[in-house]
A and B are shown apart, each in its own frame.
Chain A
Amino acid sequence: MSVVRFLDVTKEYPRSGVALSNISFRIEKGEFCFLTGASGAGKSSLLKMIYMEEKPSHGEVLVTELSSNKTSKKEIAYLRRRIGIVFQDFKLLQDRTAEANIAFALEVTGAAKDTINKKVSRVLAQVGLASKGTAYPRELSGGEQQRVAIARALVNDPELLIADEPTGNLDERATRAVFQLLKDINKTGTAVVMATHNLDLIRSSTYRTIELNHGRLVYDSANKDTAADPFGQHRFEVDRTDSPDDFIFPEGV
């Protein structure tokens, strides 16, 4: 069963023009999928359509069977409780502790205090920060802050985790740790869509990869016949011993 389906989706902005054109793909339950492409290729627009921050100009996006063409604001709010979202800049509230930041996601759903406390402790342990619950974001390293953000995304037991460049601000070690965490989360059955520039990460795994270029889907490793692949080959199947610098992106990377 698909958690996400894009059916011939085009997104145009009044000022900046076409951000995505004729995108179709689906992500199955429990799948891990990288989303890659140069800056401005449309990755963030695509992710925003998954959590319905944006609606398509044409076509349809279905997320857990909820259609972008029919959802009300309220349904979108409820949908987001079933989706975890993680950003490059963590988006933590600086004046609240790690625990309070995570609890925040449950409070807005009107959860009971007991439930909140239990769930917060559980996810803090899950992301390896059981001892740092009372720390404020500024007292944590970048990697730890991202793990708090992931814990917040996980606390509602989402079916799908969306991560928009989650390692973009992190050093290599923290990047590995966060990626490992996302893989572990995926193993528990949560589908993960991770937008990233980091080719090392992509190469280090066999996960599906979707590449965007100028708003077009140019490559999908799940679809061996990606007609739009400008290179006419599956570039992520090249010799993985190459240095990342040798890897050619069309432009802008």
Chain B
Amino acid sequence: MSATREALSTFKRAPLLSTLSVITIAFSLFAFGLFALVAINTKDTLETIESKVEIRAFMADNTSDTTALTAAQDIKKFPEVLEVEYVNKEAALVKAKADLGEFADLFEPGILPASFDIRLNPGFRTPQHVEAVANKLKVYDFIDDIRYGQEWIQKLYRLRMIATIVGAGLGLAFALVSIMIIGATIRMVVLARKNEIAIMRVVGATDGYIRMPFLLEGFIQGILGGLLALGLTYLTAVAVQRMLFDIQFFDLRMSVIGVLSGALIGLLGSAFAVGRHLRKV
């Protein structure tokens, strides 16, 4: 008797439960998969945004170039700060005109305030550090206003956190359900094969030998569930790409890890069940 053949025969003996096992594993990993997609994509976006994190401190109209440049020297010494660019009124106008193209004529000289454009060192590009630097800038009384896109950086971080919690929570819940359903499948099959198992014991089969087909069964269900989840996640990613925006999909390594997680859930489910039910046969 080959253990693989026995394992596959379970699909024939309990087709409904086996299919259900595969589907719940798939849902479990699909939930994980969606969360992981959000996570890897927001990670990229956050990194891009983080690298651009800029604090712009606007200066009062009467601030002299000398005062500003001296302050710029000080600010550059902050450990968080990578570079400080002093943009005087004229430069601000040139920048604005370049950005706005045909509306360039709307601006009169002197209408835009001078500013420091501050970029932070990598590792300090988080909302907390940005806020800390902003607070330090407030001591200069010639600084009127500080802008640093604080709100939406925090929103992005929060979104990523919610995605993580929801995804992990849903995934775990489905994983538990799949372990229970696999347990039920294995239980049915153990009962259906009660005589066979009793005879196996009588003729000297070791416990490992008796368990093997059941474990293999869980493993195969897990792999199938994992592949199904990968397919579903891929379809979702394609749909998002077509209808919303370009997103990144898992690379080969992550896909393999996903499918193997399915195998692990399957193995766990059958190992628990087979241990419990074989004792009763």
Interchain nearest-CB distance for B274 vs A (Å): 15
Within B185-230, which residues are at the interface with A (CB < 8 Å)? 195-196, 198-207, 209
Contacts of A61 in B (CB 8 A): none
Least Cβ distance of B216 to chain A in Å?
A: 16
Collect the chain A residues with CB atoms within 8 Å of residue B209's CB. Answer: 108
Complex alpha-carbon distance, A105 and B199, angstroms: 8
Per-position binary interface string of chain A over residues 64-75, scored 1 when its CB falls under 8 Å from any chain B CB and 0 otherwise: 000000000110
Contact of A104 among B1, B198, B206 (CB under 8 A): B1
- Establish whether residues A73 and B204, one from each chain, have CB atoms under 8 Å apart when the complex forms: no
- Give CA–CA (A74, B199) in the complex, Å: 16
Considering only residues 63-109 of chain A, those with a C-beta below 8 Å from chain B are: 73-74, 77-81, 85, 91, 93, 104-105, 107-109
In the complex, the 4 A-B pairs of residues with the closest C-beta atoms, listed nearest first: A80-B204, A81-B204, A108-B205, A105-B203
Q: Are B203 and A73 touching (Cβ within 8 A)?
A: no
Residues of B within 8 A of A147 (CB): none
Q: List 16 A-B contacts (CB under 8 A).
A: A73-B207, A77-B206, A77-B207, A78-B206, A85-B202, A85-B203, A91-B198, A91-B202, A93-B199, A105-B203, A105-B204, A108-B200, A108-B204, A108-B205, A108-B209, A156-B203
Q: Which of A53, A91, A109, A156 interacts with B199 by CB under 8 Å?
A: A91
* Nearest CB on B from A15, distance (A): 16
Number of B interface residues in the complex (CB < 8 A): 14
Residues of A within 8 A of B (CB): 51, 53, 73-74, 77-81, 85, 91, 93, 104-105, 107-109, 152, 156
What chain A residues lie within 8 Å of B198 (beta carbons)?
Answer: 91
- With A91-B195, A91-B198, A93-B195 in contact, do A79 and B204 touch (Cβ < 8 Å)? yes
Q: Which residues of A contact B206 (CB under 8 A)?
A: 73-74, 77-78, 108
Q: Are A51 and B203 in contact (CB under 8 A)?
A: no
Bound-state CA distance A156–B204 (Å) is 10
Q: Are B199's CB and A78's CB within 8 A?
A: no
- Docked Cα-Cα span, A115 to B54, in Å, equals 78
Cα-based distance from A105 to B195 in the complex (angstroms)? 14
Per the 8 Å Cβ criterion, residues 53-94 of B in contact with A are none
Interfacial chain A residues near B204, Cβ < 8 Å: 77-81, 105, 108-109, 156
Mask: chain B, 253-264; 1 = CB below 8 Å from A; 0 = not: 000000000000
Q: A81 to B1, alpha carbons, bound, how many Å?
A: 17
Chain A residues with Cβ below 8 Å from B196 are 93
